[in-house]
Amino acid sequence: MDRTPYVKKRIVLVIDSDRIRGGKLKKNLNKYGYRVYTAMDLKEARRTLEEKKKIDVALLCLKRFDLTLEQFIKDLKLAKPMIVILESFSEELAASALKAGAADFLTCPIDAKELIKRIGVYARMENDGDYARLRIGVRAPMEKDSGYPGFWKRLFRGLYPRPTENELLDLRYEKLNRLGIGSFGEVWKVKDVTKDPPENFVVKIPLNKNLNAKFEKEARILRHLAGHEGVPKVFEIIEIMKKKALVQEFIVGKTLYEVIERDLEEKEVESVVIQLTDVVAHAHDIGVVHRDIKPENVMVRPNGIIKLLDFGAAKELKEKEMSATVTGSRPYMAPEQIMGKSQRRSDVWAIGVVMYVLYTGMYPFYHEVEKVLMDIILRVPPSPPSKFNEALDHKVERIIMKCLEKKPDNRYPNAKELKEDLLASIPDYGKKILPLY
């Protein structure tokens, strides 16, 4: 039984660009004894944190889909539990929030009692020091019996079974630390204790058994692509509580998203681009479209070799030239992909966006409001990248602009032809693989 119905010393920061809704949340929380600070944007939230210091829980409310959600959470740098409230459900948005560090999310309309329960649990965890341990996973394991009410157990043990120090998957893989959580499941770094010396792997575990087919499809695609250095190796599928989990190679390195926090030199960009086009060309030759090419899905090893990750969104074309589902990350999505028609040329577009970002540090198409962004992608031509990088080789610019043609037929039909044009135009392009950090 919870003996703390009133929590007067607990403090909540409500971040909401909608002043009226933020005011209502504050009023409701005040009724339950919470002290509430409000902020309407990142700048105001940071100022509040600097001035007030003590915050137990934060609520981030979105009036609309905001593509900068993940960056907002990262920029806030809040080492406290944050609950994100979405105006309407979006797997992509919810997953990006969790990956960026949010503790949980809710979807409007909000059940006030449920919200109060969750805030109470996270505030209690924060006060007891358990939330900090949760954030770093098994590196500081939680006690076997937390003592928290059923909500806590349903939310964390039921959704993502928490690790114990000696837990083995399939009687051989010991969990080391959780690498990520998304809308489809969780990813763990593990070690195979049956090997001498033990060897590290990655295990991708679906959220529930209903996703087994999706994970089996990803394993099948990875096996079809086996043999290329830029594709992660999948070793086996194991069963965990009736869920089909993938065992893949553990890749030591950083994501390209992390690497490009600094400006890359021209030859470093070439090293990435030529490898990316090569691995995508390999996939296209076999009849696989990735559909979610972006810097976050490119792993860069210390020696500069890249691996293209997350073939969970990939599609086997087989006899069909197009896939009729909307999949991908908005700033990198081709016009036809937005309309639900993915094809090889959609991956070519995404490579063009990546090239544009690497050479200029800018997106060719961007807006904070998702609907506006999609309209820009569909209708507005991109600015030439030389506008932001005057030193850019005009041959590279021509290739980027061809990748970003609105009409698919005006682009390269596949990544192989893109790569061939790069090398025909600039024979030494990406000739040397360079370490990037």
Q: Note the pLDDT tens digit of each residue in 398-429.
A: 999 999 999 999 999 999 999 999 999 999 99
The pLDDT-based confidence of 317 (bands split at 50, 70, 90) is low
The pLDDT-based confidence of 322 (bands split at 50, 70, 90) is very low
Cβ neighbours of residue 115 closer than 8 Å, sequence gap 6 or more = 83, 106
**CATH topology assigned to domain 254-425:** Transferase(Phosphotransferase); domain 1 (1.10.510)
Beta strands in 32-151 (DSSP E): 35-39, 57-61, 82-86, 104-107
| Calpha distance 330→309 (Å, rounded) | 17
Residue 307 near residue 299 (C-beta atoms within 8 A):
yes
CATH of the structural domain 168-249, one choice from 3.30.450.20, 3.40.50.620, 3.30.200.20, 3.30.70.20:
3.30.200.20
Q: Is the torsion defined by CA of 124, 127, 132, 138 positive or negative?
A: negative
| Calpha distance 419→15 (Å, rounded) | 46
**Domain spanning 11-154: CATH superfamily:** Response regulator (3.40.50.2300)
Angle at the Cα of 330 from the Cα atoms of 286 and 82, rounded to 5 degrees: 120
Q: How far is CA 101 from CA 78, 216, 224, 251, 332, in A?
A: 9, 28, 34, 22, 23
pLDDT tens digits along 244-253: 999 999 999 9
Residue 274 near residue 424 (C-beta atoms within 8 A):
no
Looking up tokens 């999706």, which residue turns up? 214
Of the two residues 95 and 318, the one the predictor is more confident about is 95
pLDDT tens digits along 11-23: 899 988 888 888 8
What are φ and ψ of residue 126, in 5° steps? Answer: -65, -45
Domain boundaries, the chain: 11-154, 168-249, 254-425
Partners of 188 in the β-ladder: 178, 203
